Amino acid sequence: MWSFIKNREPNIHMNRLFEPFLSYRHFRTRAVDRQNTSSTGLYGFDHLKSPKGFQRFVDEAIERLSELIDYISGMPSSVEIIRAMDEISDTVCSVVDSAELCRQTHPARGFVEEANKASMKINVYLHFLNTNHTLYNAVKKAEQDGHLLTEEARRAALHLRIDFEKGGIHLPSGKLDRVNQLNMDAHKLCREYGENIINDPGYVDIFPASRIPRQIQHLLKPIYRLTSGVSKESLGSYEDEQEEGFRIMTEPRTLFSVLQLTPDEQVRKMAYLKGNSVPHANHEVLDKLINSRHELAQIMGCKSYAEFVMQLNMASSPEVVVSFLLEMSNMVKEKADEEFNTIRNLKRDVCGQRCVDLEPWDEAYYTTMMKSSAYSLDSAVVASYFSLPQCIEGLKLLVKSLFGARFDSVPMAPGESWHPDVLKMCIHHPEEGDLGFLYLDLFSRKGKYPGCATFAIKGGRKISETEYQLPVMALVFNFSRSHDSSIVRLNHGELETLFHEFGHALHALLSRTDYQHFAGTRVALDFAETPSNLFEYYARDYRVLKKFARHYSTGEVIPEKLVKSLNGARDMFAATELQRQIFYSLVDQTLFGEQLSVPRDTNSIVAHLKRQHSNEKHVEGTHMHIRFSHFLTYGAGYYSYLYAKCFAATIWKKLCQEDPLSPTTGTLLRTKLLQYGGAKEPADLLTDLVGDGIVRYHNGGIVPDVTSCLEEMKLLDDKNRHIGK
C-alpha cells in the first residue's frame, strides 16, 4: 500500500497500494546508517546526488520491479508471493515518496523538475502494475490456498486483492481502459488543483501601513505607492512622496492571522473576500474531478464515489457517515447557537447600533478578543514560553517518558539534506537500538509546501528473520522567523500542530509490521488521525508542559494559571468549531455522494449546507471549496477527523489522563496500538487498548462513541446522553 500523510491546515491524505498514482514511500537507503560520513544523495539515496539522478533512480526501480514480476509469475509459495508483492509496493514507493517530498520542499528548481519527471514516469508504470493479471492471479491464489499462517499475511492478501479490484482489473478490457483513464485524469486534476492554490493565493494591498497591527506585520510584504504632496521649500510646487503599506497574501495561514488580529473591519473584509474567492480556475477543476470520480464509481458498480472509497473503512458506507454527522449536528446546534449570539452581541457592544449582524470576517477577531479578555491572554507572553528549541525538547520528553527511548539529533552525510535548516533526528531505544529516523524541515521559505505535513520516506518492513527496514519520515512545517528576534517562538496552536504531526510520525516510527503495506499510518482512513489527535492532548496538559515550556530569556517554567487560561480560551467556542467540522464533512460527503439527475453546482451545495449546519453567513462570490484541498486528498473521507477526535478523547480519558507520561501508558500505546499500524482491524485495536465502549456498531458500520468528546467540551447534557452511547 502506498500512503502519503498531510495535515492540519490541510491536513493528511492517504491512499492504498494498487490505486493508481496515489501514495508515497521508500526502500533501501543509507539514511539508516548514522555513522555514514561519505557523500550521498537526497534522503540517503546515492542516485539523488544531482537532479538527473532521479532518472536513474526510476530506471533501477523499474528494473527491480520487472525482476519481482518474473519471480511471482513462477507462482512460488503463497508466503513468497505476498512478500514479493510487498517489495513491489516498497520499490514503487521509494520513487514516489522521494519525488513527492522533493517536489514540495526542495529549493532548487532543477531537483523539483526532475522529481516531477520521475513521478510521471513511475505513475505510467503503475498502469502496467495495476492491470497485471499475473500479479492479480497470484494474489488470489495466495489468499485462497490457506497457506498463509499469520493474521497479517492473510490480511495483506485480502487488501492486495481488493486494491487490484478497486483498480478495475476484473472488468472487461473496455471498462478497464476507461477506469485507467479516469484514474489518470483524477491524478492530474488533483495536482492541478494544488498548483492553482500555490500559484494564485490571492492578495490585497492595504494603505497606510498603520491599518495592519504590528504583531503580524512580519507575515506581510511591505509595499509603497507614490502620492503627491506640497513641497515646503517651494510653495506651490509638487513632489512625489512614498506611502508605505502592506500586501496581504491571502493564503490560509496569513489570512487567519489577519482575520484574528486586525481591528480594521474593512481590512478583514477585503482579506476574507479575496481569500475565499481564489483560485478561480479550481471551479472547473473540482467539477471535472467530481464527474471523473462519479463515473469511476459507477463503472465499479457503486452508487457514488463515497460508497466506492469506504469499502475498507470502519464506517463501511456513506449512509453510516451521514447519519453520524447529522446526529452530531443536532447535538451541537443549541450550544453553537448560544455561542454565535454571544459573539454577535460583543460586536454590537463594541461597534454600537450601526452593527446589525455578525459577518464571516468578524468571528475570528471577536472570539480572539473574548478569549483574551476572559483569560487575560497576551499572545506575546504565551509565545515566550514556547521557543522552538524548547518545543523540540518537549518531543524528546514524550519519547523518553512514554517509550524509554531517546530522540536525538544525528549528523547527516554530505548531500543527504535538501536545505541547511533541515535537522535529522533518531529514535533510539537502549535495548532495541535505533527505531527510526525523522527529518525536521521547520521554517517557511519561498516555494515550499505551504502547510504542515508528515511525509513518509520509507516504511518499516521485515526483510528477513534478523533484519528490519527502519522507517524514515519527514515533518514539514512553516514556522515564521520574526524580523525582531533570532529565537522562533510558537503560539499555542502551533505547538498543538507540532505535537499532532509528531503523533503521525510516532505511528510510523514505532510500528513493527511484517509488511510495509501496513506500516505506521497505512491504516483505514477513518482511523489514521487517531494517534495524532491523541498527542495534541499532551500539548495542553500542564503536567507535561511544565517539564519543557520555559521562558526563552528567564528560564521560568510556564505558570499553571497560564496553561489553565489557554485551555479555557481554547474551549470557549468548542461547539462552533465542532459545528464547522461537521459542515466541512457534510460538504465532502455531498460533493462525492450520489449525484442528482439534474446536477447542482458546487456553489449551491456549499451555500445550502452552510445555511443548514452553520451559523456563519454565506457571502455570494465566496467559494471555500475551491481552496479546501482535503476534498481532494480525502475525497469523502474528511469525516475521519471527527472520528479521530472522538476516539482520541476516549483513549485520553480512559488510559492517559490519570498519568499521561507514565511508562505504563506508553507501553500500552506502543504495544496495543502504534506497533500494529494497519495490520489489525482498527476497531479491534481500539477495543483492546481501552476496553468496550469506544466504538458503536451502527447499520452495518462502525462509528465512535461520542460521550468522552462531548463531555470534554461540556456539550453532553441529559437530552443528548443516550445518543452518545
Give the C-alpha separation, 78 to 149, whole Å.
10
Active site residue 501: yes
At 285 the three-state DSSP class reads helix
Q: Which DSSP category does 240 fall into?
A: E
In this structure, the number of other CB atoms found within 10 A of the CB of residue 37 comes to 11
What is the dihedral sign for C-alpha 715, 716, 720, 725?
A: positive
Annotate 203-218 with DSSP letters as a single string.
EEEESSGGGS-GGGGG
Q: What would the 3-class secondary structure string for 168-181 be?
A: CCCCCHHHHHHHHH
Cβ atoms of 655 and 689 within 8 Å: the answer is yes
Quick one: which H or E segment has residue 474? strand 472-479
Q: What would the 3-class secondary structure string for 420-436 be?
A: CCCEEEEEEECCCEEEE
Give the C-alpha separation, 677 to 507, whole Å.
7
> Which residues make Cβ contacts (< 8 Å) with residue 177, sequence separation at least 6?
none
Q: Which DSSP category does 655 fall into?
A: I
Strands 695-698 and 472-479: unpaired
Cβ atoms of 677 and 521 within 8 Å: the answer is yes
Cβ atoms of 559 and 381 within 8 Å: the answer is no
Q: Which DSSP category does 519 fall into?
A: S
Quick one: which H or E segment has residue 334? helix 318-351
Alpha helices in 519-614 (DSSP H): 530-536, 542-545, 560-571, 574-591, 602-613
> Which residues make Cβ contacts (< 8 Å) with residue 232, sequence separation at least 6?
none
Spatial CA neighbour of 49 closest among 422, 415, 457: 415
In this structure, the number of other CB atoms found within 10 A of the CB of residue 181 comes to 14
- The residue annotated as part of the active site, out of 19, 87, 339, 501, is 501
Q: What residues are annotated to the active site?
A: 501
